[in-house]
Amino acid sequence: MNNTRILPEPHRYSVCASIDMSIKECYKGVFEEVYIFYHPFIKPITLDYDSFEYDNYPGKNDIINNCEVVSWKQFLTISGIKTYKELDIGLRTYITGLEPKYQNAETEKVIQKCCEEHQLIIPTEGSFPEILMNSILSTIKNEGHEWIWNGDEFCTERKLEYIDDLIEANKTFPNGHINFFTHDHNILLTTHWDSPFSMLCSDKSTIGKIVKACNLEGFYCDDQTEIVWSIFN
């Protein structure tokens, strides 16, 4: 007798799009639009630059209260890197998140050198950017949601969270818990485990409000946009 257990397909309103297909195709019939927003670089102001080590990484509210956002647009100016695609490829190269034939070691070196010279923290991959999360969650709350589901990668585990509690908590979000979705399945906030960006999925009006209120930097997906958009778009 075959005892192999096969997980059912996850609900698309609760998980990140698959890497092997168009993002909008993955969410077709579920979400009208998907907005990719870049994880920003972080400039510590009243925190020690060396405190951003994995074993001693600051809490969410410590980062929000003691650091500044450095956008990808600003970093292009500082570093001399020409395009967002080139920057994305360099960041993916830094974490060895690309096959060797797609990597750009020169851009990776420029990113590292620039961050060391200006004491900037390189954007995180595979986890939500703490410095943006309180403003995003507050805006989702202003859209009429007091509670939000917090799920792991495939949403085999999920927990209903009170948004105010998430905002007030200083702790960083658990590793692997990379999906927030509203109870009515109208908004999904998700991040890909090997990418320096997150995705906001909803109707165009709702996304527009959140992007404007939180000053998110990024772009709307078109029908061809894939997770590794800098390589395959």
Tell me the C-alpha to C-alpha distance, in Å, between residue 22 and each of 1, 227, 229.
38, 8, 10
Given a contact cutoff of 8 angstroms between Cβ atoms, the answer to whether 197 and 36 are in contact is yes
Domain range annotation of the chain: 23-38+126-232, 41-118
The encoded tokens of residue 9 equal: 């397909």
The answer to whether 32 touches 185, Cβ cutoff 8 Å, is no
d(Cα 44, Cα 57) in Å, to the nearest integer?
12
Give the per-residue pLDDT at 1. Answer: 58
pLDDT in tens, 189-233: 999 888 999 999 999 999 999 999 999 999 999 999 999 999 987
Q: Could you tell me where the beta strands, DSSP code E, fall in 83-217?
A: 147-151, 158-162, 179-181, 188-191, 197-202
pTM of the model: 0.95
Name which of 118, 125, 127 is nearest 89 in CA terms.
125
pLDDT 10s digits, 6-29 = 889 999 999 999 988 999 999 999
> Tens of pLDDT along 178-187?
899 999 999 9
Per-residue pLDDT of 16-68, as tens digits, reads 999 889 999 999 999 999 999 999 999 999 999 988 876 778 999 999 999 99
Average pLDDT over residues 78-105: 96
User: Whose structure tokens read 């060797």?
Assistant: 100
222: three-class secondary structure by DSSP:
coil
Q: CA-to-CA distance for 149 and 189, rounded, in angstroms?
A: 10
